[in-house]
C-alpha cells in the first residue's frame, strides 16, 4: 500500500533534508512541498496526502493553525527546532514529534510508526465496512423517545433535549429542567435524531443547535460550545470542521 506525503517547512534546507530521508522509503510518494502555512492548507485539502511532515513555526500560520484549518485529516509528524510544543502536538493526535537537527534513525522510527498506524487503522475500517450493514438514509426522525425515570417510562419530546453525554455504556440526556440516564449508547441515540438539529461536537457529546448560545475560541486554538444554560463542551478537531461548514 503506497503512502503519499507532503513536506511543510519554511526552510529550504530542511525541506531538502526531508526529501533525502524520505528517499529511504520507496513506498512513500512525495506529492510536493510548502513553505507557508496558507499554502499548506490549500495543498493538504487539494492533494489529500496520507502523511505530512509539518514544521511548527512558520511565517503567517503555525503548524497548529494549519491543522485547525484543514478539512482533510492526514497523519502528522512534526519536525521542529522547538521542544516546548510536544504536548500540544500529541493533543492534536500527531504520530510523532521530531526535533531538529533531525536524526536519520529517529526519523525512520517515526515514519515506520506512521506507516504502521495507517495500515492498522485502514485495515480495521475495511474489515468493519465489509462486515457491516449500511442502513438506508432516514427520511424522518423520532419526535419522542421513552426514557427511564424511577420506575416509570417518561415520554420525552426530542426537541426538549439540550445535549447528550456519553458515560461508559450509558448516555446522560439533559433537558432544561431534568436529566435522564439511558442504557443505550450515544451512537445509537444519535441515529434517532435529525442531524439538522443535533450535531456531534465530540465523540462523547451531542448538542441540540436550538440550545446553542455561542462558540468560543479556546486559548490553544480549539473551540468550545456554550449552551443556553452556560454549560460548555470542548469541540474535538474532527467535529470542529463540521461546525466551520455552518459559518457564513
Q: Domain-by-domain residue ranges, the chain? A: 3-131, 144-244
Cell for 217?
A: 475560541
pLDDT for the residue 120: 76
pLDDT for the residue 139: 57
Q: Which of 124-133, 162-171, 192-201 has the lowest mean pLDDT?
A: 124-133
Structural contact between residues 111 and 95, judged by C-beta atoms closer than 8 angstroms: no
What's the average model confidence in pLDDT over 223-236? 89
Residue 212 has pLDDT above 90, yes or no: yes
The answer for residues whose C-beta is within 8 angstroms of residue 245's C-beta and 6 or more apart is none
Cα 80 to Cα 67, 88, 184, 243: the distances in Å are: 15, 13, 44, 30
Q: Which residue has the cell 424511577?
A: 150
Cα 126 to Cα 2, 63, 73: the distances in Å are: 16, 30, 18
Residue 71 has pLDDT above 70, yes or no: yes
Q: Environment class of residue 151 by beta-carbon count within 10 Å: exposed (0-12), middle (13-18) or buried (19+)?
A: exposed
Architecture of domain 3-131: 3-Layer(aba) Sandwich (3.40)
The model's pTM is 0.55
pLDDT digits (tens, 9 = 90+) for 170-181: 899 999 999 999
Homologous superfamily of domain range 144-244? LytTr DNA-binding domain (2.40.50.1020)
The answer for residues whose C-beta is within 8 angstroms of residue 68's C-beta and 6 or more apart is 221, 222, 237, 240
Amino acid at each position: 500500500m503506497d503512502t503519499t506525503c507532503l513536506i511543510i517547512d519554511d526552510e529550504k534546507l530542511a525541506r531538502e533534508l526531508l526529501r533525502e530521508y524520505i528517499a529511504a522509503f520507496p513506498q512513500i510518494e512525495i506529492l510536493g512541498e510548502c513553505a507557508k502555512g496558507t499554502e499548506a492548507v490549500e495543498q493538504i485539502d487539494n492533494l489529500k496526502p496520507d502523511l505530512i511532515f509539518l514544521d511548527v513555526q512558520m511565517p503567517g500560520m503555525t503548524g497548529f493553525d494549519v491543522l485547525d484549518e484543514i478539512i482533510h485529516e492526514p497523519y502528522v509528524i512534526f519536525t521542529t527546532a522547538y521542544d516546548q510544543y510536544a504536548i500540544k502536538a500529541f493533543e492534536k493526535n500527531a504520530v510523532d514529534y521530531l526535533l531538529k537537527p533531525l536524526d536519520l534513525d529517529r526519523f525512520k522510527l517515526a515514519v515506520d510508526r506512521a506507516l504502521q498506524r495507517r495500515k492498522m487503522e485502514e485495515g480495521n475500517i475495511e474489515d468493519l465496512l465489509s462486515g457491516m450493514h449500511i442502513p438506508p438514509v432516514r427520511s424522518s426522525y423520532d419526535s419522542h423517545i421513552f426514557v427511564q425515570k424511577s420506575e416509570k417510562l417518561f415520554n420525552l419530546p426530542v426537541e426538549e433535549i439540550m445535549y447528550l453525554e456519553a458515560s461508559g455504556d450509558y448516555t446522560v440526556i439533559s433537558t432544561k429542567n431534568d436529566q435522564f440516564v439511558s442504557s443505550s449508547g450515544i451512537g445509537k441515540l444519535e441515529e434517532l435524531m435529525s442531524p439538522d438539529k443535533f450535531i456531534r461536537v465530540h465523540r462523547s457529546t451531542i448538542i441540540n443547535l436550538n440550545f446553542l448560545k455561542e462558540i468560543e475560541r479556546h486559548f490553544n486554538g480549539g473551540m468550545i460550545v456554550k449552551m443556553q444554560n452556560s454549560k460548555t463542551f470542548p469541540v474535538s478537531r474532527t467535529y470542529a470542521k463540521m461546525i466551520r461548514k455552518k459559518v457564513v
